[in-house]
Amino acid sequence: MNSTSVTEQVDRIKSYPKLLLWYTGDEPDGWGDPLEVTVKSSNLIKSLDGGDGKGGAGYHPVSLVLNCQDYYFRFFLSFPAAKPIK
């Protein structure tokens, strides 16, 4: 994860009124990037995001899409905010 790039991107658009959420990963499987990158990027974004200046840290939700096909599904579900859609 390039924290400088993430910081620049978040700071550039966090106050846009139509920003719905942060999308951090599309089907990470642990092969292309280390597994902990999803947590590190989420934590960094939450610390930077003040939304409209009134919402405080983590004003917009942080999301990613999982299609783990039995790779590391249990790892991702171990995060406190992880909720599988049934």
Section 33-54 average pLDDT = 77
2 or 26, higher pLDDT: 2
What is d(CA 41, CA 1) in angstroms, rounded to the nearest whole number? 7
43, pLDDT greater than 80? yes
For residue 45, the one-letter residue type is I
Q: What's the pLDDT at 22?
A: 92
pLDDT in tens, 46-69: 888 865 555 555 678 888 877 656
Domain boundaries, the chain: 3-77
Q: Is the pTM of this model over 0.85?
A: no
